[in-house]
Amino acid sequence: MTGGMTGLPLRVSRVFTQADFDRFAELSGDDNPIHVDPAFSAETRFGRTVAHGMLLYAALWGLIRGVFPDAIQESQDLMFPAPTYADEPVFLEVDLLERPEPDRLVLAVRVLSGRAGAPTLEGRTRIRLAGGATP
């Protein structure tokens, strides 16, 4: 990652709770029991509930908009190599990968397990800066 732009890289710690999973399920309509039913999830390979992938990305998008409030997302490419569990710390990371045009940025996004350091979300997003180029 190259970084160097004002406000980047970002690294923020966060703990998502079961209540967060439940609220996201209610808002999104994604009430898959792997996210909201501890008894069901205990019988799966995960052993407990796991975060919605889009809940994780929404938190990353919030970080991006904190630095670039006029950002418009043009694309995203995400992978979820490991689960994110409730009540465990994670690190949300955003960094600059490239700047193909003055008003466009390609950002690396990651969520890392606070215990193992393994990625639970890895990807990139391309944004357009609606207000024009940044300093």
Domain 10-15+51-129: assigned CATH number: 3.10.129.10
Q: pLDDT 10s digit of each residue in the chain, 135 long?
A: 445 566 899 999 999 999 999 999 999 999 999 999 999 999 999 999 999 999 999 999 999 999 999 999 999 999 999 999 999 999 999 999 999 999 999 999 999 998 878 999 999 999 999 876 554
d(CA 70, CA 89): 29
| pTM over 0.85, yes/no | yes
User: Residue 44 class from Cβ within 10 Å (0-12 exposed, 13-18 middle, 19+ buried)?
Assistant: middle
What pLDDT, on the 0 to 100 scale, is given for residue 1? Answer: 43
- Are 129 and 68 in contact by the 8 Å Cβ rule? The answer is yes
Determine the straight-line distance between the first and last CA of the chain, rounded to whole angstroms.
19
Annotated domain spans of the chain: 10-15+51-129
- Are 123 and 54 in contact by the 8 Å Cβ rule? The answer is no
| Cβ neighbours, 10 Å, residue 111 | 27
